[in-house]
């Protein structure tokens, strides 16, 4: 073969030519290996594991809405009709159970692993739903609701941990949005399952029985899902962590994923961490950011708006069933928008614009409350403001905190810090739900919605000053960045 030189054509010896081919082939092979390491792993490998994990969020939404329509029938059949305290307990006992469960979720996730934590949270949800479905008295209903709540307290924090730890960095925000979408679908599912409750006697029992199906699927499907490689690595199980990374990312990305994990300090099973370290140690700043985000999320009035939506729609001549459908569609639509934008615009931008939109919608509610109650303009503003509030909440303030917090918490504190922040979430959820109607009676809608709007604006300022952007970063890059700030 002839090759061109700077001055003339020379004949290349056959042995040299063979060597050059080998060198070129080896170089190409190495280059392909580097390209595979530098390209993003396929999201299709981790997606099935994420979808199974989000069954917890579906159950969360379902159980939060399952008693809304059937509550009147439940009260009649169990003999506490007209007892508003008992009716309130049927709803709030689930919240109390969730608070208790959230306190233990970090310990369970760290001690038994993420997969077994899912299975353990499914167990009380199945037993509790069966208890509520079979009960003949108020006490049995309250016991069933408490058991379900304890499972719900464990499940969502573990789901946030799991999705954050098994998702590739470039789609972690998108996969995190699946949690909010699954919650919306659970709420809508509970609404549709409850439609026949007024026409079929005892249908409310079926509503509880139905919830055991996804809970059982969750427990069984987790047997086939990957364990979190982060949890395995933290416990010194390197070979198993590599095997799980291969399932989630593909074989060509295992070495780079393990190298990323090695950048942060590896924990140890005997390295116990006390809750006091979350409040006073070097991690206190990120824990403060996380718990404040959840507190502001609840103080924005979102659950009060959900509660009050039926009343507002009835004033506009819309039935409660149709009102719930409208709110559910707005919630789902916003969640889909969040899924599309989470990894494009980033967490911080969505949070800020979400709280700004919620503040605007409360301004519409305040304006509507100041107009004549009988006027159509007031009703349109009130309904429009409420739907805008739900829509903008579900774009950022709803899904982002549950995704952002596991990202900013280091691997050593991640599970326990999430447990602490979720307990803060449940406390403020309970307080707002308890005081909303009384404050509405004493202060009136204008002043109350002004307070909610003020909290939304406070949230915008807080996010701008304290929240870092995590879009596209690996968990180890985020941890190193936060530690360098300290």
Dmax over CA atoms of the chain, in Å, equals 104
C-alpha span between 319 and 191 (Å, rounded) = 13
Q: What is the pLDDT of residues 322-333, one digit of tens each?
A: 777 888 889 899
> What value does the mean pLDDT of the chain take?
83
Dihedral Cα 462, 468, 471, 472, nearest 10 deg: -170
Mean pLDDT for 307-324 is 67
Q: What is the pLDDT of residues 57-89, one digit of tens each?
A: 999 999 988 887 788 889 899 988 888 788 878
Banded model confidence at residue 4, pLDDT cuts 50, 70, 90: very low
Cβ atoms of 293 and 424 within 8 Å: the answer is: no
> Residue 168 corresponds to which tokens in the numbers above?
């590739």
CATH topology of domain 43-226: Growth Hormone; Chain: A; (1.20.1250)
First to last CA, the chain: 64
Domain with CATH 1.20.1250.20 in the chain: 43-226, 281-485
For residue 439, how many other CB atoms are within 10 A of its CB?
A: 16
Judged against a pLDDT cut of 50, whether residue 10 lies above it is answered with no
Q: What is the pLDDT of residues 142-187, one digit of tens each?
A: 999 999 999 999 999 999 999 989 988 888 888 888 998 999 899 8
Per-residue model confidence (pLDDT) at position 456:
95
Per-residue model confidence (pLDDT) at position 380:
77
Judged against a pLDDT cut of 80, whether residue 24 lies above it is answered with no
| DSSP tally for the chain: helices H, then strands E | 22, 2
Percent of the chain with pLDDT over 90: 37
For residue 326, how many other CB atoms are within 10 A of its CB?
A: 17
C-alpha span between 291 and 413 (Å, rounded) = 14
Phi and psi torsions of 283, nearest 5°: -90, 0
Q: What is the pLDDT of residues 212-221, one digit of tens each?
A: 999 999 999 9
Per-residue model confidence (pLDDT) at position 47:
92
Burial of 268 (0-12, 13-18, 19+ CB in 10 A): exposed
Banded model confidence at residue 441, pLDDT cuts 50, 70, 90: confident
C-alpha span between 364 and 484 (Å, rounded) = 43
What is the 8-class DSSP label of residue 393? I
- What residues contact residue 473 under an 8 Å CB cut-off, 6+ apart? 169, 407, 481
3-state SS string for 101-139: HHHHHHHHHHHHCHHHHHHHHHHHHHHHHHHHHHCCCHH
C-alpha span between 126 and 148 (Å, rounded) = 7
Q: What is the pLDDT of residues 99-126, one digit of tens each?
A: 999 989 989 998 999 999 999 999 999 9
Alpha helices by DSSP H, 194-301 = 203-210, 212-221, 229-234, 238-249, 254-262, 275-280, 284-299
Banded model confidence at residue 236, pLDDT cuts 50, 70, 90: confident
If one compares 310 and 245, the residue with the highest pLDDT of the two is 245
What is the 8-class DSSP label of residue 160? H
Judged against a pLDDT cut of 60, whether residue 131 lies above it is answered with yes
* Residue 348: closest CA among 292, 300, 414, 404: 404
- What residues contact residue 217 under an 8 Å CB cut-off, 6+ apart? 55
C-alpha span between 218 and 425 (Å, rounded) = 24
Q: Which CATH superfamily is domain 281-485 in?
A: MFS general substrate transporter like domains (1.20.1250.20)
> Residue 135 corresponds to which tokens in the numbers above?
């009960």
> Residue 280 corresponds to which tokens in the numbers above?
């006073």
Q: What is the pLDDT of residues 245-287, one digit of tens each?
A: 989 988 888 888 888 777 765 544 445 666 667 777 777 888 8
Helices 55-65 and 43-53: angle between axes, nearest 10 degrees: 30
Distance of CA 187 to the CA centre of its chain: 14
C-alpha span between 298 and 431 (Å, rounded) = 9
What is the 8-class DSSP label of residue 6? S
Distances 64 to 58, 60, 69, 198, 320 between C-alpha atoms, Å: 10, 6, 11, 19, 17
Per-residue model confidence (pLDDT) at position 438:
75
Concatenating the DSSP letter of every residue in 59-86 gives HHHHHHHTTTTTHHHHHHHHT-TT-HHH
> Residue 338 corresponds to which tokens in the numbers above?
């969040």
Mean pLDDT for 456-467 is 94
Q: What is the pLDDT of residues 362-406, one digit of tens each?
A: 998 888 877 765 566 777 787 888 889 999 999 999 899 988 888
CA–CA–CA angle 366, 451, 439 (5° rounding) = 90
* Residue 155: closest CA among 194, 104, 205, 192: 104
Judged against a pLDDT cut of 70, whether residue 453 lies above it is answered with yes
> Residue 27 corresponds to which tokens in the numbers above?
């170089």
Percent of the chain with pLDDT over 70: 84
* Ranges 169-183, 228-242, 301-315, 455-469: which has the least confidence: 301-315
């Amino acid at each position: 073969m002839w090759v061109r030189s700077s001055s003339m054509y020379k004949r290349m010896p056959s042995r040299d030519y063979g060597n050059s081919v080998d060198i070129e082939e080896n170089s190409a092979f190495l280059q392909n290996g580097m390209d595979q390491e530098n390209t993003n792993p396929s999201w299709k490998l981790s997606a099935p594991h994420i979808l199974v994990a989000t069954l917890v969020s579906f159950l969360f939404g379902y159980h939060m809405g399952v008693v809304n329509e059937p509550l009147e029938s439940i009260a009649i059949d169990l003999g506490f009709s007209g007892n508003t305290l008992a009716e309130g307990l049927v709803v709030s006992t689930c919240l109390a159970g969730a608070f208790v469960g959230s306190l233990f979720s970090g310990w369970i996730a760290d001690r038994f692993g993420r997969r077994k934590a899912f299975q353990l949270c499914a167990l009380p949800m199945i037993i509790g739903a069966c208890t509520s479905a079979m009960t003949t008295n108020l006490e049995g209903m309250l016991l069933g609701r408490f058991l379900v709540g304890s499972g719900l307290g464990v499940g969502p924090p573990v789901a946030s941990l799991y999705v954050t730890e098994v998702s590739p960095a470039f789609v972690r925000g998108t996969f995190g949005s699946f949690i909010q979408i699954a919650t919306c679908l659970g709420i809508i599912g509970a609404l549709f399952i409850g439609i026949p409750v007024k026409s079929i006697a005892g249908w409310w029992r079926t509503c509880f029985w139905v919830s055991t199906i996804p809970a059982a699927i969750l427990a069984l499907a987790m047997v086939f899902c990957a364990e979190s490689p982060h949890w395995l690595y933290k416990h010194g199980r390197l070979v198993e962590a590599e095997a799980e990374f291969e399932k989630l990312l593909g074989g060509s990305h295992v070495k780079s994923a393990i190298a990323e994990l090695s950048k942060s300090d590896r924990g140890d099973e005997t390295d116990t961490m006390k809750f006091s370290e979350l409040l006073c140690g070097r991690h206190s700043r990120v824990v403060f950011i996380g718990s404040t985000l959840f507190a502001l999320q609840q103080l924005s009035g979102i659950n009060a708006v959900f509660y009050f939506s039926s009343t507002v729609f009835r004033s506009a001549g819309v039935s409660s069933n149709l009102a719930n459908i409208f709110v559910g569609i707005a919630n789902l639509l916003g969640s889909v928008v969040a899924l599309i934008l989470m990894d494009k615009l980033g967490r911080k931008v969505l949070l800020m614009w979400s709280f700004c939109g919620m503040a605007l919608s409360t301004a519409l509610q305040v304006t509507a409350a100041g107009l004549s109650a009988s006027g159509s303009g007031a009703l349109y503003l009130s309904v429009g403001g409420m739907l805008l509030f739900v829509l903008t909440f579900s774009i950022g303030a709803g899904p982002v905190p549950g995704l952002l917090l596991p990202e900013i918490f280091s691997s050593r504190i991640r599970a326990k810090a999430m447990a602490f922040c979720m307990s803060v979430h449940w406390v403020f959820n309970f307080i707002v739900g308890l005081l909303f109607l009384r404050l509405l009676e004493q202060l009136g809608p204008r002043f109350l919605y002004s307070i909610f709007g003020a909290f939304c604006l406070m949230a915008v300022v807080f996010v701008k000053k304290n929240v870092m952007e995590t879009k596209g970063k690996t968990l180890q890059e985020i941890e190193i960045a936060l530690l360098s700030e300290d």
